Amino acid sequence: IVNPKNEILKTFPLYNEITLYLESLQNSHSDILQTFTIGKSFENRDIIGVKISSGGSGKPALFIDAGIHAREWIAPTTAIYAIKQLAENASNSYIFDNIDIYIVPCLNPDGYEFTHRNSANRMWRKTRSTKKFSPCVGVDANRNFDFEWMTVGASSNPCSETYAGVTAFSEPETSALRDFLLSKNNTIKVYITFHSYGNFLLHPWGYTEELPTNEPTLRCVADKAENKLSQKRGTHYEIGSSTNVLYAAAGGSDDWAMGVAGIELAYTMELPSQRYGFAAPRSEIIPVGQETFEAIKIFAKYVEGV
């Protein structure tokens, strides 16, 4: 029997291995880590997350998710790396002395499992929901959030890779995330979502080229995070709004987090694996995890207000 604690990041884990690992952490570190589920996926998997906290109530919080898109495997492992560091490395406990941290490492488990099942499915991006009379499977979860939904960069064609869904929040995965974020009523100060690939640290808006009024703060915190991250192994990120740096696309989780949920700062991090596309080799798991953890510490500092 493998020890899930030592084996978890040696390769890209299956979804049930992620779940088992997080449950084993809860058992071994019950004083600081609790698992929770935000709901079920279309295929009835529990969407699991962890809360890392030193106790107390009413603390400001940092929220991180990953794996909204199935094929972006380096995203869940980077979230798991952060969980592992926070829970198993006591020298990191200062990070959550004064804040709570929520991490949901694989928001789209059905899609993630599908990409693992056989190599022909490796490039699947969407959820795995089906609908009567629809010729195609799945919705682009990052076009499915209810803020300026379907206004730009999204498709109404169920067979498109960027299909926005029949309605906003049609997917159980996105509506579960919505309900979780809203249930924390304004304690979450920063929302981060990990995608790949491309070395972009994106902030809203994705639906317009206009900038949010807090753009100076978004940029300032991103600059600090990028600077710290880059010191690890020279990885650089381009910073800016999704529309201006990448392309316009409405219905993304970060736009919704800032525009509707009222979270102060929201970012989409396009993790670096451009040498390999979506199929980063497993040798990248630890280096990307390490450098990204440096950025997470900066976001945590902002949440703490220092």
List 229, 249, 266, 285, residue binding ligand ING (CB under 6 A): 249
- Of 108 and 268, nearer to ligand ING (C-beta) is 268
Using DSSP, state whether 40 is helix, strand or coil: strand
Residue 148 interacts, among ligand ING, Zn ion, none and using kind-specific CB cut-offs from 5 to 8 Å, with: none
Q: Which residues is 290 bridged to in the sheet? A: none
Residue 61 interacts, among Zn ion, ligand ING, none and using kind-specific CB cut-offs from 5 to 8 Å, with: none
Residue 260 interacts, among Zn ion, ligand ING, none and using kind-specific CB cut-offs from 5 to 8 Å, with: none
Q: Does 142 help bind ligand ING (rule: CB under 6 A)?
A: yes
**Catalytic site includes residue 270:** yes
- Smallest gap from Cβ 125 to ligand ING, in A, equals 7
> Which residues, 6 or more positions from 240, have their beta carbon under 8 angstroms from its beta carbon?
200, 202, 203, 219
- Of 53 and 243, nearer to ligand ING (C-beta) is 243
Q: Does 195 help bind Zn ion (rule: CB under 5 A)?
A: yes
- Smallest gap from Cβ 169 to ligand ING, in A, equals 16
Instruction: Give me the torsion for CA of 193, 194, 196, 197, rounded to 10°.
Output: 90
- Smallest gap from Cβ 278 to ligand ING, in A, equals 8
List 41, 53, 129, 242, residue binding ligand ING (CB under 6 A): 242
- In this structure, the number of other CB atoms found within 10 A of the CB of residue 9 comes to 17
Q: Does 19 help bind ligand ING (rule: CB under 6 A)?
A: no
Please report which helix (H) or strand (E) contains residue 64, including its range: strand 61-66
Q: Does 115 help bind ligand ING (rule: CB under 6 A)?
A: no
Give the number of residues in contact with ligand ING, rule: CB under 6 A.
12
Residue 266 contacts residue 255 (beta carbons within 8 Å): yes
- In this structure, the number of other CB atoms found within 10 A of the CB of residue 118 comes to 8
Query: For residue 101, what are its two tokens?
Result: 């941290």
Q: Does 127 help bind ligand ING (rule: CB under 6 A)?
A: no
- In this structure, the number of other CB atoms found within 10 A of the CB of residue 263 comes to 21
Of 3-11, 84-92, 110-118, 245-253, the segment contacting ligand ING by CB under 6 A is 245-253
Beta strands in 107-244 (DSSP E): 188-196, 200-203, 238-241
Task: Determine which one of 72, 148, 270, 291 is catalytic.
Answer: 270
**Given strand 33-40, what is the order of strands in its sheet?**
33-40, 46-52, 100-104, 61-66, 188-196, 265-271, 200-203, 238-241
Q: Does 9 help bind ligand ING (rule: CB under 6 A)?
A: no
Q: What is the C-alpha separation between 92 and 140, in angstroms, rounded?
A: 35
Residues 253-292 that bind ligand ING (CB under 6 A): 254, 268, 270
Catalytic residues: 270
Positions touching Zn ion (CB under 5 A) are 69, 72, 195
Positions touching ligand ING (CB under 6 A) are 69, 142, 195, 202, 206, 242, 246, 249, 252, 254, 268, 270
